[in-house]
Amino acid sequence: MDIQKLKLLVNTIQKLSLARDIDTVTSVVRKAARELTGADGATFVLKDEGKCYYADEDAIAPLWKGQRFPMSACVSGWTMINKKSVAIKDIYKDDRIPVEAYRSTFVKSLAMVPIRTMEPIGAIGNYWADQHEPTEEEIELLQTLADITSISIENVYVFNELKEQNKKLYEIAFMQSHQVRVPVAQIQGLFNLFDFENPKHPHNPEIFKKLKVTIDSFDGIIKEITQLTSKIKISP
């Protein structure tokens, strides 16, 4: 492998390791995909409710950014359905190509690889303005990038899930801290009223009754907090 391409791949991995949202992932990947192969364009496609969503692109002219197509109507869908890469030298001689969708573009040749080969969640496409037969090395580079991308996307999902869980835990803690303060203050007040020097003082039994009610209330709040937090699953 060319040393410059290896450096680019390593640099891309470093950038993706810091990505905390899908937009950052798509931006890094579509740029790297084009540079790794010297292509005239690259697209980042995500599987979205049974359709191919062209989330981002880096190209010499507009392609399909922001558009959605049926899985059965585009090459990215074919790649995801069949869980394998595809290289097409002449798009007008391959029946997997929806020619009308390409006719207004600069594309003459393409390569497409799935993001995650087990259960694809997207695809990365490279396009050339002149007829170009994608080499095995180019396909391998794109597939390596796609494999790294799949891990990065999973990391983003985990990060966002943990972020949401932390937010819920903070909201619960903030809400319950106010509820806890009330019985604590009541218990402190009742203890101050208790006559320790004269345990048989006639108002002491009444204070004990109120203490029991307050402690039961406190216990109920603690149980409620436990139930709420138990519903929030912390990912390992």
- pLDDT for 194 equals 64
pLDDT score at 236: 43
Q: What amino acid occupies position 58?
A: D
Buried b or exposed e, range 36-58, using 16+ CB within 10 angstroms: bbebbbbbbbbbeeebbbbbbbb
pLDDT at residue 83 greater than cutoff 90: yes
Higher pLDDT pick, 114 / 194:
114
Percent of the residues in the chain that have a pLDDT greater than 90, as a whole number: 54
The two counts, helices (H) then strands (E), for the chain are: 6, 6
Domain boundaries, the chain: 3-155, 161-230
Burial class (CB in 10 A: 0-12, 13-18, 19+), 228: middle
- Asked: is 3-155 a CATH 3.40.50.300 domain? The reply is no
* pLDDT greater than 80 at residue 32: yes
The C-alpha atoms of residue 5 and residue 219 are separated, in whole angstroms, by 63
Over the stretch 142-177, which tens digit does the pLDDT of each residue have?
999 999 999 899 888 887 777 777 777 777 666 666
pLDDT digits (tens, 9 = 90+) for 116-137: 888 999 999 999 999 999 999 9
Name the band, by pLDDT with cuts 50, 70 and 90, for residue 178. low
Q: Is the pLDDT score of 231 beyond 70?
A: no
What's the rounded Cα separation, in Å, for the pair 76 and 48?
12
| pLDDT surpasses 80 at 111 | yes
How many residues are given for the chain?
A: 236
Strands (DSSP E) contained in the chain are: 41-48, 51-59, 68-70, 86-88, 109-115, 122-128
pLDDT at residue 138 tops 60: yes
DSSP letter for each residue of 67-109: -EEEGGGSHHHHHHHHTS-EEES-GGG-TTS-HHHHHTSS-SE
Q: Which are the contacts of 42, defined by CB distance < 8 A and separation ≥ 6? A: 30, 31, 33, 34, 57, 58, 59, 124, 125, 126, 127
Q: Can you give the pLDDT at residue 175?
A: 67
Instruction: Answer whether 76's CB lies under 8 Å from 125's CB.
Output: yes
* β-sheet bridge partners, residue 113: 124
Q: In whole angstroms, give the CA distance from residue 122 to residue 76.
A: 8
Residue 40: its pLDDT value, please?
97
Token pair 């207004």 is found at: 104
Residue 231 buriedness (CB in 10 A; 0-12 / 13-18 / 19+): exposed
- Asked if residues 207 and 193 have their Cβ atoms less than 8 Å apart, the reply is yes
d(CA 63, CA 83): 23
